[in-house]
Chains A and B, each alone.
Chain A
Amino acid sequence: MEFLASWPVGMVVIFALLLAGVPISFALAGVGVAGVAAIIGWSPALSLLGSTFFDNGRDYSLSVLPLFLLMGNFVVQSGIAQELYASAYAWLRHRKGGLATATVIACGAFSSVCGSSMATAATMTRIALPSMRKFGYPDQLSTAAIAAGGTLGILIPPSVILVFYGIMTQQDIGKLFLAGLIPGVLGVIGYAIAVRITVTWRGMDLPVEEKLPLMDRIRALKGTAGALLLFAFVMGGIYLGVFTPTESAGMGAGGALLLVLLSGRFSLRALGDVLYDTMKTTAMMFFILFGALTFTNYVNMSGMTADIQGFLASFGSTPTMTILIILGIYLLLGCVLESLSMIMLTVPVFYPIVAAQGFDLIWFGIFVVMVTEISYITPPVGMNAFVLRSVVPDVRLGTIFSGLAPFVVLDVVRVALLTIFPGIVLFLT
């Protein structure tokens, strides 16, 4: 395995294994440990492997991951998503494309109590797609609105990806959460514009309903109470210092369980399913994390970071050029890689480089999450499109991806905006 001592070889091997369908966690761990062994020998490499899996599994700050997942699963159970959707619809039903806009807004609202994009997309597909179909919305628009809206799950706090980023770069997770708020709201606005553009440009003839009287609309807001309460409880608790961001996950899960109990949908069987599911997802994500950390050790020892820094310095790359190059790499990788593995592979390499160029690492965290959002909805590997497809197998992937084009464009515009005006991200932190 001596050849792995050179990192470009390691990169080729890891991509080959990933594309061959080897589970991401095993591919990363395997290449990582063999690569480290090529550099420092098998005996220390193997003891590092044991330490990486055991010590990082006992990291207190990582306990937010299962607890936020648990919170999201309880929220799905509680029926909050239907209520959010109904409220948004009451306000928008008289507008052309109103259902799609309501979907985007409900996705954003749901993201504030769910930390995962795929969970947001899966939940909203079950709720929003049937009604958009009933009103004759073309699948191209409705699936795109859900897939794009779902990506907000990792930007609007809480966010599983921001937790991982915070761990890998030793940044404050509470600050990262606050930084995600405004870009998240901008995301909702951007997607609403994308809906508008789609409807106008494609000349869609969509039905509109009669405008509801103001009082009825206000009454409809009642449906947002559950989500609003939970979000206010979690973010307010953090902001007012009642509990720490780390503790907010456990408190949020407790709050969400309370909502399930109040909603009258509680059953022991459902509780069992939620817990089993949460445990499984936790293990999947942590084993990818362990694999990635093993691989990171290989990157660390192989001198890759220094080589790339030297390469950028060799043609006098300015910070702006560096960030553009990184954006380009992310857009390319985002097409072909699963999103979590993309972050795990790239963040350890990029963050020392951008930090050295003077970028704020909280800002870069939001940047990374936004390019990851794009990766969820670009072909050929767009996880949110796949999620939709698995829930409604009768939709063609091509239909979903073609509908997503304007949303991707608006996403790129948003990334550009936040790169030119980083203050929008850092304002709240």
Chain B
Amino acid sequence: QTQTTLTVANWLPPAHPLVSEVIVPMTEQITEATGGTVQTTILPAPLGPPAAHFDFAVNGVADITFGVQGYNPGRFTTTNLAELPFLSDSAEATSVAYWRVFEDQLIDAGEYDQVKVLGVFTHGPGEIFMKEADASSADVLKGAKLRVGGGIVHEVATTLGAVPVEGPSSKAYELLSQGVADGILFPYESVNFFKLIPQLDIGISVPGGLYNTSFYVVMNKAKWDSLSAEQQEQIDSVTGEALARMAGKMWDRADEKGVDAMDGQIAVSPATDTQLEAWTAALQPVIESKLGEMDEAGLDSAALYDAFKAEIATAEAELQ
């Protein structure tokens, strides 16, 4: 068989766990599964901003790219499903369930027709972190300036009565340390990774999280088609659900590390019943509007939502 080399575009620092514990092992597994007939090189510097990476794969600028669907607002509607609040505390369960529903139904929506999808997965649950605040107050979020990214987090924050302060996650430290923002909606991992722990005092964990972030790993279609059927099969065997599981596990580990790092510095407590009741009621319209967008795109959101929740339950059971 002929030897092929795939270039992998990377926009994160090489030490980021998404690179070192997901992308790098994935490339190694691809080489191993194909018996060395498919090699990979990860480019030393970013080719462009994160948002450009899906099109880099579409246009063949790089062969394999990864990123966040939400960086291209308006492009992906199927992602809405994976980003909803109150899904699961386990990124592994959500990711595996997400991949199964994706492979089974979401892919038919055609949003990924221009690429070969190697995997979709989600981050761990997004929680609430704030500077000095009364964690048990029902009004803890009312008027609080929360740093948010785009997409569903923005709507969640607004709906819960917070004042959204916009900015990329790399600016979160700047916004918090300078007091421009009073708090942030983030997974444990990100609070730790962006070195925000000293800037924050309390955390409120919400069962299933207030939101999720969806990720993709995709490959240029022409490059994929240039591989032999055997190579394609070999690559499929180490990507897809296996990749989603590996990524979900990584985020879970990173979240655990984040929780450990917060020990003694951020008092994390579960949301009170009053808070939960209020927030669940308040976010219901957000969930409905996100599902509504999917219906508008010709998807049967109710059935998909049920199927997704059932798959999450199955995946969670598998973890036990």
Q: Which of B32-40, B55-63, B133-141 contacts A (4 or more CB under 8 A)?
A: B55-63
Look across to chain B and name the residue whose beta carbon is closest to the beta carbon of A172: B174
B174 touches A47 (CB 8 A): no
Nearest CB in chain A to that of B176: its residue? A241
Q: How far is the CB of A245 from chain B (nearest CB, A)?
A: 7
- CB neighbours of B171 from chain A (8 A): 61, 244, 246
Residues of B within 8 A of A352 (CB): 44-45
Contact across chains for A48 and B61 when beta carbons are under 8 A apart: yes
B173: chain A residues at CB < 8 Å are 172
Does B43 lie within 8 Å of A48, measured CB to CB?
Answer: no
- Asked if B2 is at the interface (CB within 8 A of a chain A CB), the reply is no
**Could you say which residues of chain A place their CB within 8 Å of the CB of B56?**
48, 51
B25 within 8 A of A: no
- CB under 8 Å from chain A, chain B span 110-135: none
A-contacting residues, B37-54, CB 8 Å: 43-45, 47-49, 51-52
The A/B interface has a contact count, at CB < 8 Å, of: 77
Q: Which of B48, B175, B178, B180 contacts A51 (CB 8 A)?
A: B48
Per-position binary interface string of chain B over residues 147-179, scored 1 when its CB falls under 8 Å from any chain A CB and 0 otherwise: 000000000000000000001101101110111
Q: Is A170 close to B, CB under 8 A?
A: yes
Q: Which of A45, A56, A245, A301 contacts B48 (CB 8 A)?
A: A56
Contact call B60/A241, Cβ cutoff below 8 A: no
Interface bin, chain A? 35 or more
Q: Is the CB of A300 within 8 A of B59?
A: no
Roughly how many angstroms separate A305 CA and B170 CA in the complex, as a whole number? 25
Chain B residue numbers with a CB within 8 Å of A56 are 48-49
Q: Is the CB of B49 within 8 A of A55?
A: yes
Cα distance, A171 to B175, chains bound together (Å): 15
Q: Nearest chain-A residue to B168 (Cβ)? A: A60
Q: Smallest CB–CB gap between A39 and chain B, Å?
A: 9
Among A40, A59, A245, A293, the residue within 8 A (CB) of B61 is: A40
A150 beta carbon closer than 8 Å to chain B:
no
CB-based contact B45/A348 at 8 Å: yes
Q: Tell me which residues across on chain B come within 8 A of A172, comparing CB atoms.
A: 173-174
A238 and B178 within 8 A (CB): yes
Is B48 in contact with A48, judged by CB distance below 8 angstroms? yes
Q: Of A59, A244, A246, which is within 8 A of B49 by CB?
A: A59
B45 engages A243 (CB within 8 Å): no
CB pair A55 B175 closer than 8 Å: no
Q: Is the CB of B174 within 8 A of A297?
A: no
Q: Find out whether the CB atom of B52 lies under 8 angstroms from the CB atom of A245.
A: no
Residue of B with least CB distance to A352 = B44
**Chain A residues whose CB sits within 8 angstroms of the CB of B180 once the complex forms:** 241-244
| Chain A interface (Cβ < 8 Å from any Cβ of B) | 40-41, 43-45, 47-48, 51-52, 55-56, 59-61, 170, 172, 174, 238, 240-246, 293, 296-297, 299-301, 305-306, 348, 352
10 closest Cβ contacts across the A-B interface? A241-B178, A241-B179, A47-B59, A44-B60, A300-B45, A44-B61, A48-B61, A55-B52, A51-B52, A55-B49
